[in-house]
Structure 1
């Protein structure tokens, strides 16, 4: 494996418990190794867990209150934190992207129209995952209901879930190339995926894909379309080595891996060996 990257396959629950369920989907780790996780349907908030802390706190949203105002979220799906500490959230059922300035609980809509689903260039239909480029100039949003990826300037690689594949676009290109999975074919072999969601690349150009339908995380070494299972055992469950519809993925500065284990209402941490 490029970079000799291996992880303990037994996960540690760092957010979510039997007494405090967190249906986490999106996860993000900032430059200070602070973990952020979306809470889609229980508290409708973004949780923040400081490095070495035990209990998370609310970074954005109003606990237990879904809605469209500037302090509320409705099914937040993904989160990104920029180098200045500003928080970006895909607010799915409000069909918008909210930006919370560092230290503020008041969101500003920077993309989409609150409460208005549509296919116009200023609209979304259930936006899901988002990311910013390395210079934080542009923001990319997976517009789930419109089957497209949108790019926005922040001053104002995508996953083909239903197609069971991952597509790579070269900047400026009009079409992409499939780099993992077989288009339209689902499966559980090392070359197939089923409803992939979260995706990350490391400095060695290894690609990590959350293979949601197979309840596992696959690692594809640079220039390889054969996956290696690095977390999950392919069976649905709530054990320390299992997932139930995992979605988001993030790494901290030590390359410890965090997975939003959605239907198990938790975030799992896998220690790098």
Structure 2
């Protein structure tokens, strides 16, 4: 479940000057830079996972870190199991302790081991995956922007409902 699912008081106010917690060092491919970050996920321990779209990678930022760590992709753009091509979104599947990535230009959803993963596994193919999320029951919801629909998948299902 995304961290944005928490209850926020209706009268809550927000500071107008946020704190940079990932990137902030201009466009680039160094571990302290991002290049068109699209999606992000914040884990229970406040670790941030960023879909660094134009660097074709997912970057993990520990709380207070000045540099991120590439945890998926980062091997130039491509369609190999060790590559991503314009990833738009990322979430964590806590059950399998893996990243679930919308690998947009490869038209696939990829599961990538969160710890020491060197390649991903395509779990849904032939989908223009723009965004995704998972509910508390383990259902995966995927936005297919070219078909103008949201599809729901259960574990082991590749067709969706």
Offset at residue 52 of structure 1 (A)? 4.2
Partner of 2:99: 139
Partner of 1:123: 83
Q: Distance in 2 between matches of 1:123 and 1:134?
A: 22
Q: Which runs of 5+ in 2 are unaligned?
A: 118-140
Offset at residue 61 of structure 1 (A)? 0.3
Offset at residue 104 of structure 1 (A)? 0.4
Q: Which runs of 5+ in 1 are unaligned?
A: 1-26, 34-50, 178-273
Partner of 1:61: 23
| Superimposed CA distance per residue, residues 97-116 of structure 1 (whole angstroms, 9 cap, x where no aligned partner) | 000112102111000024x1
Q: With CA pairs under 8 Å and 6+ residues apart, which has the higher RCO, 1 or 2?
A: 1
TM-score by length of 2: 0.73
Partner of 1:150: 110
- The 1:132/1:83 distance shift into structure 2, 3 A limit, reads same
Alignment of 1:1-273 (within 5 A): 29=4, 52-63=14-25, 65-114=26-75, 116-135=76-95, 137-155=97-115, 156=117, 157-177=141-161
Q: Distance in 1 between matches of 2:112 and 2:66?
A: 23
TM-score by length of 1: 0.45
Q: Distance in 2 between matches of 1:159 and 1:104?
A: 31
The structure with the largest alpha-carbon Rg is 1
Does the 8 Å CA contact 1:30/1:81 hold for their aligned counterparts? no
| Superimposed CA distance per residue, residues 178-217 of structure 1 (whole angstroms, 9 cap, x where no aligned partner) | xxxxxxxxxxxxxxxxxxxxxxxxxxxxxxxxxxxxxxxx
Does the 8 Å CA contact 1:31/1:83 hold for their aligned counterparts? no
User: Secondary structure of the equivalent of 1:159?
Assistant: strand
- The 1:141/1:55 distance shift into structure 2, 3 A limit, reads same
